[in-house]
Amino acid sequence: MSPPLQLSFVLSAPSVAALPHTAAEVAVVGRSNVGKSSLINALANRKSLAQVSNTPGRTRLLNLYQLANGGTVLDLPGYGYAAVSQRTLSTWPALIEGYLLGRAHLEMVVALIDAAIGPTRLDVQMLDWLRSHELPHVVVATKHDKVKPSQRLRRRGELAAACSLHPADIVWASASKGTGVEQLRGFVRMWLAAAS
Ligand code: GDP
């Protein structure tokens, strides 16, 4: 059993330069509404550590969390939601790219994809971008509970193929049901072990 991650909120930064130094960091990235905040809350077993919102696109800053034993988790702004201003949209990719290319001690990028509807075109672009920059990353399929049990095997195959991955390489998770949460806690601890 993997106990909850003891995460505490540090700050919301508008730029990479505003982030404090870290010895090891895991970043979480995904389309707005993919379930990022819910998953961070599930990892910590907290209800509202990260903001869970039905209004996609509200998280527009780099939200930093500290793990009690050392290391940090960075919640990146959600990408690809249309109902925000053009100005904001144009700054997101630069913020995300600037962070991913410029952050020292970034150990792992956790790329979230909606298990029921993904990957979207933007998700695939994100994966291609991560691969082209040789950034270590893991795909986590969120909202696993939304896929009917009878369709899960097929969905796993489809999603993996669309991501150019093997089904076993994808972590299936549900913040609602707890699926995959313990496994992910163990991974985060392992990735951040360099900091402890
Ligand atoms: P974010 O924008 O990526 O941070 O996504 P949120 O965590 O705010 O979640 C977006 C919506 O998806 C909310 O209505 C959540 O309740 C819902 N959601 C998140 N995770 C799950 C899940 O595992 N299962 C189901 N069924 N819904 C989820």
- Over residues 136-178, the pLDDT tens digits come to 999 999 999 999 999 999 999 999 999 999 999 999 999 999 9
Nearest CA to ligand 1 atom 25: 143
Pocket lining: 116 vs ligand 1, CB cutoff 6 Å: no
For position 196, what pLDDT does the model report?
A: 75
Write down the mean pLDDT value for the chain. Answer: 90
Q: Is 17 exposed, middle or buried (0-12, 13-18, 19+ CB in 10 A)?
A: exposed
Contacts of 182 (CB under 8 A, 6+ apart): 1, 2
Phi-psi region of 37 (alpha: psi -120 to 50; beta: other; left: phi over 0): alpha
Q: Are 37 and 59 in contact (CB under 8 A)?
A: yes
From CA 80, how far away is CA 96, in angstroms rounded?
12
Average pLDDT, integer, range 172-192: 97
Size of the chain in residues? 196
Q: What is the pTM of this model?
A: 0.93
Average pLDDT, integer, range 171-190: 97
For position 159, what pLDDT does the model report?
A: 98
pLDDT in tens, 88-100: 555 567 889 999 9
Strands (E), the chain: 7-13, 25-30, 62-67, 72-75, 106-114, 137-142, 171-172
Q: State the distance from the centre of ligand 1 to the C-alpha of 38, rounded, in angstroms.
A: 6
pLDDT in tens, 21-60: 999 999 999 998 899 999 999 999 998 898 765 555 456 7
For position 57, what pLDDT does the model report?
A: 46
- Position 130 confidence tier, pLDDT thresholds 50, 70, 90: very high
- Position 70 confidence tier, pLDDT thresholds 50, 70, 90: very high
Token reading at 11: 């700050």
Pocket lining: 60 vs ligand 1, CB cutoff 6 Å: no
| Best mutation site among 41, 46, 52, 53 for ligand 1 pocket (most ligand atoms within 8 Å of CB) | 52
Q: State the distance from the centre of ligand 1 to the C-alpha of 56, rounded, in angstroms.
A: 10
Average pLDDT, integer, range 2-21: 94
Nearest CA to ligand 1 atom 9: 35
Pocket lining: 36 vs ligand 1, CB cutoff 6 Å: yes
Pocket lining: 52 vs ligand 1, CB cutoff 6 Å: yes
Contacts of 27 (CB under 8 A, 6+ apart): 73, 74, 75, 76, 99, 100, 103, 106, 108, 109, 110
Nearest CA to ligand 1 atom 12: 35
| Best mutation site among 29, 32, 38, 40 for ligand 1 pocket (most ligand atoms within 8 Å of CB) | 38
Q: pLDDT over 90 for what percent of the chain?
A: 74
